Structure 1
């Protein structure tokens, strides 16, 4: 991916909207977002909702950094961070080198991932450096099926709603 393929880059965040380019491995029409692990998670979600990138809108308001929510595979209202992760770039302290994991290698489970592994001294084995997300584009969510979110929104299970409506409902607004 060349520099000309990147759009709307900012400190700690690279956004690639060229998902339909020839020989690109990104799903057509998707947006690939590479976030520095120290970026505040909710800032990523806020940007995603504002730009029309779906897949993380129900994860609004989660505290911590991109590393924190990825390490814990945070979830809320039927969405999990792991649903959007493509890869995680780390520093592996046990072998003192960089290592990148594809989503399938992250061992995501409810509230956990391989990135919670500890060394003998109790420190975390992996220092997360960058998390790459793949987000669909659109104005409406996927069908809302989480009972609590359905109730907050006042919609029927399976309805699709505007992204910003979900964010406001999750944040209590």
Structure 2
């Protein structure tokens, strides 16, 4: 059913499975397609004024919605617009509306010879989600190039601009994550116009490019290599490939303080033996372990099935939980719990879900 308010496309009982990369989720009571920042503001304010529960939905790449759906208003961000402005010698500020496809924006910057976000190629979702999640991959995070965001403060109803240092950006998080107090309207990034990438930090990518860590490479080469690596792990969306019917990495890499890290490493060595190299990376105040490595060593291999084989770990990457075509959200949660509990039982490490869980919980 479709109704109308001036300027707004409003529908009811729309299945959210059609708007998530997992292809899961029941219907929304009310569904609003907001095609401009003004429409986003109007739709959110209208829902708040009516006292309705509100879910702001972008590309659906980092969300898991309950089978029962969402009883309230879903505002689907579909705003468009990209601008590039030279702000200083060798530097360009990119401004993108929240509803722009992230990878399309990355491709546009690469075509323009701008460096800074090429390592974030192939990541599904929309621009507005990138600062919320502090999106990162292959040694680069959005935090490194983020200038500011415009957002709607739902408490005051006002549009505000927050600089990057006001967002509390950390590993896969920000002050915006896990809260519905604000809605991102547009995002600004500072990029270099040298035609070269950010320094290559990630060993796998450096090996693929045939360069030493720290070197800079033409941005188009980096983008292509990143896309090839992601495709090999089932991390580039493909309607015909169920290995890509996922929310990307379902669990974040665990970051442990030093005292817990030493204890955990000792427990891991006791399980896998002293001769096995344990992947670990420096992190503020401690160290970061590989969730995928822990999952596999806990006995969950690529392709490991869940209930009725309707869900499974990706055949390409153990961090991705996939819908094999006829799954339910309950199926996926069951598999996620099995993996989480298995890793905790073997290693004492608590894996944390990366996607936003709507109407459901692990």
Q: TM-score range by the shorter chain?
A: 0.7 to 0.9
Q: Hey, what's the Cα distance between the residues in 2 that align with 1:62 and 1:101?
A: 24
For residue 131 of structure 1, the aligned residue among 165, 174, 187 is 187
Deviation of 1:92 (Å):
0.8
Match of residue 214 from structure 2: 158
Q: Is 2:237 aligned against 1:168?
A: no
Q: Secondary structure at the match of 2:192?
A: strand
Confirm or deny: 8 A CA contact 2:94 2:189 kept in the other structure.
yes
Gaps of 5+ in 2: 1-79, 230-362
For residue 68 of structure 1, the aligned residue among 116, 119, 129 is 129
Q: Secondary structure at the match of 2:201?
A: coil
Name which structure has the greater RCO, CA cutoff 8 Å, separation 6+.
1
Match of residue 50 from structure 1: 111
Show CA shifts across 1:107-165 (max 9, x none).
111001111142xxxxx111100101110111222331211211222222222211111
Match of residue 3 from structure 1: none
Give the TM-score normalised by the residue count of structure 1: 0.82
4+ runs of 1 displaced by more than 6 Å?
Answer: none
Confirm or deny: 8 A CA contact 1:117 1:126 kept in the other structure.
no
Counterparts of 1:5-154 in structure 2 under 5 Å? 12-17=81-86, 19-20=87-88, 28-118=89-179, 124-154=180-210
Confirm or deny: 8 A CA contact 1:117 1:125 kept in the other structure.
no
Q: Hey, what's the Cα distance between the residues in 2 that align with 1:152 and 1:50?
A: 21
Q: Secondary structure at the match of 1:132?
A: strand
Count of aligned pairs between the two proteins: 150
Show CA shifts across 1:50-84 (max 9, x none).
10111000000111000122210010111111111
C-alpha RMSD of the superposition: 1.4
Confirm or deny: 8 A CA contact 1:70 1:81 kept in the other structure.
yes
Confirm or deny: 8 A CA contact 1:84 1:133 kept in the other structure.
yes
User: Which has the larger Rg?
Assistant: 2
Confirm or deny: 8 A CA contact 1:144 1:158 kept in the other structure.
yes
Confirm or deny: 8 A CA contact 1:116 1:125 kept in the other structure.
no
Give the TM-score normalised by the residue count of structure 2: 0.40
Confirm or deny: 8 A CA contact 2:114 2:196 kept in the other structure.
no
Q: Hey, what's the Cα distance between the residues in 1 that align with 2:196 and 2:84?
A: 20
Q: Secondary structure at the match of 2:195?
A: coil
